[in-house]
Structure 1
Amino acid sequence: MSNVTGIKENETSTDFVLLGLFPRFGHPSLLVLIILLLYTSAFAGNSTLLLLIWLDPRLHAPMYFLLSQLSVIDLAYISSTVPKMLANHFSGKRSISFLACAAQMFAFLTLGLAECILLTLMAYDRYVAVCNPLRYTVLMSPKVCLQMAASAWAGGALAALVHTVYPMHFPICGSREINHYFCEMPAILRMSCVDTSIYEMTVVSIICIVFVLLPLGFIVSSYILIFLTVLRMNSPEGRRKALATCSSHLAVVSLYYGPALVIYMTPQSAHTAEQDQGLSMINTIFTPLLNPLIYSLRNKDVLTALRKVVGRRGTLKWT
């Protein structure tokens, strides 16, 4: 009798059910433990990078201001999905309300699209620094940097609003189980009982062109010009420093855009839900984890700031 009642409640409820990360995996507790460790490491890494940029005056430069915005996005990005997944696992409840699902999708898309814009602006910053250094202070003034950050957040939020409101209005037939660990747009579209191909071909394609292909083309063009300029440099030290900074940014771009191209620029029928989950893990978990490592390990200024903070704490401890 209770099972029948539960089925009826599920049929009439507007709540969704998150099946979690790789629901067929035989050791879910081990997987959750690994995710918790990765989340803690990503949170600590980005928080440390933000603290260093705030404390060290030598890091009060346009490049590091944009990098601090990237760390803020990464902190919010990983926090928009992982805590809910962990809470569901430890509580044993996998449901998420319609409004909470829409809010999670909006937050995830806002942060993801804002990161697309920010990575493009960071490429522009490197282009100006290497190819037009005499005008760097003018082209990358504090006011311009603030405008860049505001445009990234605003652009991401506006596009995310469209991509949240429209898909959530598609009627859903049958099970409301989402084969994912968070409310992602492709997973919601798969549940719709109407044909969403027109939406995917128009709205989704336009957004992907504006926020993925065009920024990626701009980034590639910027780095072609940067590398041509670097090849003409007479100073080996200047060439090495420029390449080290640019290679860090290129690594982050590759790590972020690779999975996004597969998930959003290919038909949904071309990849399974499990493949989407794996690719989403790269964007939502591994990218926020690796970004501070990529930028800090190959950046002497950040490493110097870290040594100063650690040395200062050690001195205070001994005194």
Structure 2
Amino acid sequence: MATTLGLNHSSVSEFILMGFSTFPPHLLPVFFLLFLLMYLFTLLGNLFIMATVWSDRGLHTPMYLFLCALSTSEILYTLAITPRLLADLLSTCHTIAFAACVSQMFFSFMFGFTHSLLITAMGYDRYVAICHPLRYNVLMSPRGCAFLVAWSWAGGSVMGLVVTTAIFHLNFCGPHEIHHFFCHVPPLLKLACGTNVPIVALGVGLVCITALLGCSLLILLSYAFIVAAILKIPSAEGRHKAFSTCASHLTVVVVHYGFASVIYLKPKSPQSLEGDSLMGITYTVLTPFLSPIIFSLRNKELKTAMKKTFLSKLDPQSS
């Protein structure tokens, strides 16, 4: 990865991840067990959702195609960060090679932004379903859905490439201690030296904030039209049914952007290193953990399909 991008190694061959250095040592095994269980649940929960959608032909609709793509991006995002996090909790050696740091940043940004773009596409899907139901099959055709998914992955890849290339073209003169549990932009910028560091920091910040705000504004605009359309439905039952189709997506939007805004938009201070690591853990471990739970519990159609597909196999008499 580093050679392909033509990145600047300067005098650095490796970094030291210091994210857990301020944690009490006797609690690290407890955190390891907790995060391991959450990680396994995240993997199994997303695989469970994907298997249910693909095995039930009644769920072969645009909304569930997006959900499968979202589960895939979530699995890959956690795979880029969590295994290394778990290893560092039990290891005394926290060094990470320069190339591994580059790869981790690229894939975490790629899958993270892909996740945001897919959530935005799901908001558009709900907007079309409620505001333009008669044109839904035309606007959200299989080809159109595949186009949105492909562009989400392409957009995430471009964002990951832009951010990673900008950061690792800087010179790193030392110290080589990253005060985080993975190769994250703000702590890496503190290790960089040169007159162009403030320019790169400003540019990367503007690119990331613009992309995230753009996604969130598109989602807000979609829901503004959705709420207006729902309020026009005469019956309370009809309004409830229409809103229930958006409940799981809206909950994931609130959780995803809620944690992201706290992490990326809160003021930084020299005393915030431990707090940054803790908030980073909630975003990289807790948010992916909650996502399959939200979609499973707040989506009646998916819950019914899970029971029909898997419980019937465990107990043939139940079918």
Q: Same fold (TM over 0.5)?
A: yes
Partners of 2:194 and 2:268 in 1: CA distance? 15
1:221 counterpart residue number = 221
Give the Å deviation of 1:237: 3.2
- Percent sequence identity over matched residues? 38
Partners of 1:47 and 1:53 in 2: CA distance? 10
Which letter maps to 2:293? L
1:246 counterpart residue number = 246
Q: Is the 8 A contact 1:22 1:274 kept in 2?
A: no
Give the Å deviation of 1:202: 2.8
Q: Is the 8 A contact 2:179 2:273 kept in 1?
A: yes
Question: Matched residue pairs, number?
Answer: 308
1:57 aligns with 2:74: no
Please provide the CA RMSD for this pair.
2.2
Partners of 2:225 and 2:67 in 1: CA distance? 22
Compare 250-259 and 17-26 and name the one that shifted more.
17-26
2:205 counterpart residue number = 204
Q: Is the 8 A contact 1:58 1:301 kept in 2?
A: no
Compare 257-266 and 164-173 and name the one that shifted more.
257-266
Q: Is the 8 A contact 1:66 1:122 kept in 2?
A: yes
Partners of 1:167 and 1:267 in 2: CA distance? 21
Partners of 2:65 and 2:201 in 1: CA distance? 35
Give the secondary-structure state (helix, strand or coil) at the position aligned to 1:233: coil
Give the Å deviation of 1:297: 0.6
1:4 counterpart residue number = none
Partners of 2:275 and 2:256 in 1: CA distance? 16
Give the Å deviation of 1:266: 5.0
Q: Is the 8 A contact 2:16 2:94 kept in 1?
A: yes
1:143 aligns with 2:147: no
Give the Å deviation of 1:316: 4.4
1:190 counterpart residue number = 190
Q: Is the 8 A contact 1:14 1:98 kept in 2?
A: yes
Partners of 1:114 and 1:250 in 2: CA distance? 18
Q: Encode CA deviations 1:280-318: one digit per residue, 9 max, x unaligned.
A: 223211111111111111111111111112332233499
Partners of 1:192 and 1:44 in 2: CA distance? 39
Partners of 2:168 and 2:115 in 1: CA distance? 23
- For structure 1, the residue ranges without an aligned partner over 5 or more in a row are 1-10
2:22 counterpart residue number = 23
Give the Å deviation of 1:268: 4.0
Compare 216-225 and 191-200 and name the one that shifted more.
191-200
Q: Encode CA deviations 1:92-138: one digit per residue, 9 max, x unaligned.
A: 32111100100000000001111111111111000000000000011
Which letter maps to 1:240? H
Partners of 1:20 and 1:268 in 2: CA distance? 16
Partners of 2:289 and 2:15 in 1: CA distance? 29
Partners of 1:166 and 1:194 in 2: CA distance? 13
Q: Is the 8 A contact 2:11 2:173 kept in 1?
A: no
Partners of 1:23 and 1:272 in 2: CA distance? 12
2:4 counterpart residue number = none
Q: Is the 8 A contact 1:39 1:289 kept in 2?
A: yes
1:5 counterpart residue number = none
Partners of 1:12 and 1:150 in 2: CA distance? 38
Give the Å deviation of 1:12: 6.3
1:177 counterpart residue number = 177
- For structure 2, the residue ranges without an aligned partner over 5 or more in a row are 1-9
Partners of 2:222 and 2:24 in 1: CA distance? 43
Give the secondary-structure state (helix, strand or coil) at the position aligned to 1:17: strand
Compare 260-269 and 159-168 and name the one that shifted more.
260-269
Which letter maps to 1:60? H
Residue 160 to residue 224, structure 1, CA distance change in 2 (3 Å): same
2:82 counterpart residue number = 82
1:47 counterpart residue number = 47
Residue 22 to residue 236, structure 1, CA distance change in 2 (3 Å): farther
Using structure 2 for the length normalisation, give the TM-score. Answer: 0.90
Residue 200 to residue 221, structure 1, CA distance change in 2 (3 Å): same
Give the Å deviation of 1:218: 1.1
Residue 269 to residue 139, structure 1, CA distance change in 2 (3 Å): same
2:106 counterpart residue number = 106
